[in-house]
Structure 1
Amino acid sequence: MPREMSPCPAYPVAREGGIVAAMLTLSGLREAIRQHVLGALPRPEAAYRPEVAEYARLLRDYPERGGKMLRGALLCYTGLAYGAGLERLLPVAAALELFQNWVLIHDDIEDASDERRGKPALHKLYGVPLALNAGDALHARMWAMLIEAEAPREVLREFARLVELTAQGQHLEMTWVERQRFDLTEADYLEMCSQKAAYYTAVAPLRLGALVAGAQPPAVFEQAGTKLGLGFQIIDDVLNLAGEREKYGKEIAGDLWEGKRTLILLHFLRQAEPPERDRAEALLRLPREEKPASEVGWLHRRLLETGAVAYAQEVAEGMLGEGLEALRPVLARLPDSEAAEAALGLLESLVRREA
């Protein structure tokens, strides 16, 4: 798991009628979002029969494993910077975190992943049918939270766009693996990643914070947010190969076992001599259960030795820097400068994987 960041300065998060209702550090805001998420889910002890208790445990499993609540926190800080109160922001932030959890359940099934947040993936514990059903239930609960909070129509539209873009990006990635595509470019990867990961990681939290406050999100939120989200995902790809298992929280080299077309892999294939490229492609064409561990180990080493991982790290750092610089002046002009600074601080920690 990433290191815990230094807490943001205490911030007055709700000021209805000019009264400071609470002072929350980042850790406090995260906990408030987490409690809002868990409070919206069924409790096993309240179930009327054992099977329903198990259903409740499945729905609560990924949320109870932790997670940093960073997307929800970014949404809240952005909304606070625009002047919205926390009581309006929390349900939307919690719904965004529910989106993250149900998408991860589905993603783990689709990628045949072994681990999530340091534990076996949900489908490894309960089987694919029950895990898939739990993901569907969390998806429904996400919309219910928004409806119950009487979220503005613009917020509902943003969530619909968020779901559709993520699904489209996931479709691209899965078809590339299933149809054995090796003719892809780095531009293809960036297109896929901007839809699958970058939008919900940075663009949506920024836009939703503004929308909850009744403001029109500026175009820079999508432009800079896309760069930040891309950089964050590329760093995640780097950590998958060069990170520490205990801190990363997922299987090291899992992307190779799953055959994912990352920026790292595409760069390596483009630069590799024909024998190495042929060897790598032959390995990646095999289903996970048929991949020899020795060959996965070879490809893992070559991605590190040839500089493909270092190249991706450099690309990511460039995108992260550009995204932050574009956002800084825009956030600085928002009504609440403390909240805007907290949002920037969170983004800086997020993109450096310190949060």
Structure 2
Amino acid sequence: MKPEALREALRTYLLRRLEALPEQEGYRTLLQDYPKRGGKALRGLLTLYSALAHGVALERALPAAAALELFQNWVLIHDDIEDGSLERRGGPALHHKYPMPLALNAGDALHAEMWGMLLSEEEKVLEEFYELVRRTAFGQHLDLSWTLSGRLITPGEYLEMVRYKAAYYTAVAPLRLGALLAGRTPPEVYRQGGEALGVAFQIVDDLLNLTASPAYGKEKAGDLWEGKRTLILAYFLEEATPEEKERTLRLLGLPRSQKRAEEVEWLYGRILQSRALDRARREAERLKEEGLSLLEPALASLPDLEAAQALLGVLSTLVERQA
């Protein structure tokens, strides 16, 4: 089945579940806001292809795939509030479109709906969702702690944080869920290869934050305004002069409301002039090749080879995204 058809099946199932909710005081409208904005639905799509490749019927796989998409949406709502983000998927962040308490509650409600979609799943599938939620929360704790404390980090610290915050739920969990839905034990290579590709995905996301056109739906240099600790920033600081490091640390230590636009533009320009972007691109490409080389032999033995090839294609897309 083509990605467009799978995405449509996933979107239809997800919105149909949300449309069953009450509409008093705009409740349903609020919860549907982020899901209706679109997006690539990469995690849900990966879950569906992984399940199909393992011999699972589409209808059987849809609830878990939709639940993972709901996870992505409620986490984004909370993440945008925590980071003070202005935009999401080409529109205002939910807490800028609606009062912040309502946006926060919408995230909590989608979290509950996620578990509701999983009520009929077997214990191992529930355990996998528990694992991805707790890993993501710990990674977010690291990310927020570094930003709030003003501490600069090394490339190694960034990579460790991203393994928790993004890599597991982006690539590892979808691979494992496909096997679990088929009643199979996921091989360890799913974790190893998925981690490499998931980390590469986040590095590319950070690159796009600095290089993408406005049409991509991300605020230009939003990571710098929010003080995010990225691999790009870590690479830049490795080669920066002591004066540049001091100026960068002073800027990143300020809350967004106190950052001056000219200072953010200075840091943005210096990063673009440095080797940091090229180094990050090379690391993402290295991790992509590592991940695919681990996963290709394992996926070649699955029951549905056509779906397995499509799965590899979507996994490659994680790193090949363009602005």
Instruction: State TM-score, norm by structure 1.
Output: 0.89
**Contact 2:61–2:181, Cα closer than 8 Å, also in 1:** yes
Q: Does residue 352 of the first structure (1) align with residue 312 of the second (2)?
A: no
SS at match of 2:200: helix
Q: Work out which of the residue numbers 81, 103, 108 in structure 2 matches 1:109.
A: 81
Distance 1:274 1:354, change over 3 A: closer
**Contact 1:304–1:310, Cα closer than 8 Å, also in 2:** no
Aligned to 1:284: 252
1:1-355, aligned counterparts within 5 Å?
24-42=1-19, 47=23, 49=24, 51=25, 54-147=26-119, 150-182=120-152, 184-247=153-216, 249-353=217-321
Deviations 1:12-46 (A, max 9, x none): xxxxxxxxxxxx311000010011110111368x6
Letter of the structure 2 residue corresponding to residue 127 of structure 1 = P
* Residue 127 (structure 1) shift: 1.9
Letter of the structure 1 residue corresponding to residue 228 of structure 2 = K
SS at match of 1:309: helix
* Residue 73 (structure 1) shift: 1.1
Distance in 1 (alpha carbons) for counterparts of 2:138 and 2:304: 36
**Contact 1:43–1:57, Cα closer than 8 Å, also in 2:** no
**Contact 1:102–1:135, Cα closer than 8 Å, also in 2:** yes
Aligned to 1:5: none
Unaligned runs of at least 5 residues, structure 1: 1-23
* Residue 352 (structure 1) shift: 0.4
Distance in 2 (alpha carbons) for counterparts of 1:354 and 1:201: 18
Letter of the structure 2 residue corresponding to residue 36 of structure 1 = Y
**Contact 2:197–2:318, Cα closer than 8 Å, also in 1:** no
**Contact 2:86–2:93, Cα closer than 8 Å, also in 1:** yes
SS at match of 2:228: coil
Identity of aligned residues (%): 58
Distance in 2 (alpha carbons) for counterparts of 1:354 and 1:285: 31
Letter of the structure 2 residue corresponding to residue 176 of structure 1 = W
Superposed CA RMSD in Å reads 1.3
Distance in 1 (alpha carbons) for counterparts of 2:248 and 2:200: 25
Aligned to 1:13: none
**Contact 1:72–1:205, Cα closer than 8 Å, also in 2:** yes
User: After the TM superposition, which segments of 4 or more aligned residues of structure 1 sit over 4 Å from their partners?
Assistant: none
Deviations 1:193-243 (A, max 9, x none): 110011111001000111011111010100010000000100110111111
Distance in 1 (alpha carbons) for counterparts of 2:60 and 2:20: 25
Unaligned runs of at least 5 residues, structure 2: none
Distance in 1 (alpha carbons) for counterparts of 2:124 and 2:230: 33
How many equivalent residue pairs?
323
Letter of the structure 1 residue corresponding to residue 311 of structure 2 = A
Letter of the structure 1 residue corresponding to residue 18 of structure 2 = L
* Residue 106 (structure 1) shift: 0.3
SS at match of 1:250: coil
Distance in 2 (alpha carbons) for counterparts of 1:306 and 1:354: 21
SS at match of 2:31: helix
Name the structure where helix makes up a greater proportion of residues: 2
**Contact 2:147–2:227, Cα closer than 8 Å, also in 1:** yes
**Contact 1:186–1:267, Cα closer than 8 Å, also in 2:** yes
* Residue 321 (structure 1) shift: 1.2
* Residue 350 (structure 1) shift: 2.7
